[in-house]
Amino acid sequence: MGGFEGHLYPGLSLFFYGLYHARLVSRALICSQPAQYPPRPPWSKGRWARLQQVHYVGLLKILSTFVLVAQELHNISGPFVLIRKTYHARDFLYCKQWQHLTIYTTFVLSGCVDAVSQNLLPRRSAALEQAAQALGLALILPLMLSHLQGSEGVDLQSHLLFIQALFLLVLVAVAELWAPDAWQLRVMKAFLYMLTGSWLIQIGFMLYRPISGHKWMDDDKNNIMFVTTFFCWHVVVLAFLMAGIHGVSFLWYRYTC
């Protein structure tokens, strides 16, 4: 997730995944349906019946991860190796890039679980998908903490706020394993997915494409204070967005449930 594109593409993926969950939980609340799994179309027995048993959101996770991996490898100059084998210089190389690829691996595993779990009963399928999400997020959290090595100023503050949102997302995902029917957890999960995604995009703009055209100065305390202010603005705007999604869903589903 280095560079502008390395923050933009993962951020968009997380944000749209949060929008997807926001729509699901709004439909579940309005139509009085179970919140832990989306409704499924009836199975057919034709030639393409097996395709109905594939969760397309899982396939989108896998395809988007391949795009992220390709973008990460494209930005690496020289041979992509793990350890330099030169005598007296056997240290690890591309530490952050390997961390990025490890994070993307968790996305692929979660997408694979989503894609194949449709063959199970709905409740078991939802439980398996939730467990894969919780495990993937729990792996991302220590990687992001290690990612702070060498950061300072605006870079450090912005990533600390991202880790704060990610930590809350991990707590919600783990709590959901024991309370899968709690719609409050589903709402918070959708909100935190959108928050981590939108804030990751914001980090990309602040560090690499500032709107003013001038680089943010790490020795300016005003810049660091405004990073926190912008994060709070993201929270408020996304809260209004969640309310708007529920309002639109109410108008859409009240006649179709």
pLDDT tens string, the chain, 257 residues long: the values are 667 888 888 899 899 999 988 988 888 888 777 655 555 555 444 444 444 445 677 788 888 888 888 877 777 766 666 566 665 555 777 777 788 888 888 888 888 887 776 665 556 667 778 888 888 899 899 888 888 887 888 989 999 999 999 999 999 999 998 888 888 999 999 999 999 999 999 999 998 888 877 788 877 888 888 999 999 999 999 999 999 998 888 888 777 76
| Tally of domains in the chain | 1
Give pTM, 2 decimals.
0.86
Token pair 């949102």 is found at: 165
CB within 8 A of 107, min separation 6: which ones? Answer: 13, 61, 62, 64, 65, 68, 136
**How many Cα atoms within 13 Å fall on the side-chain side of residue 92?**
6
Distance CA 55, CA 123 (A): 15
Contact 104, 68 (CB under 8 A): yes
Domain that holds residue 37: 3-253
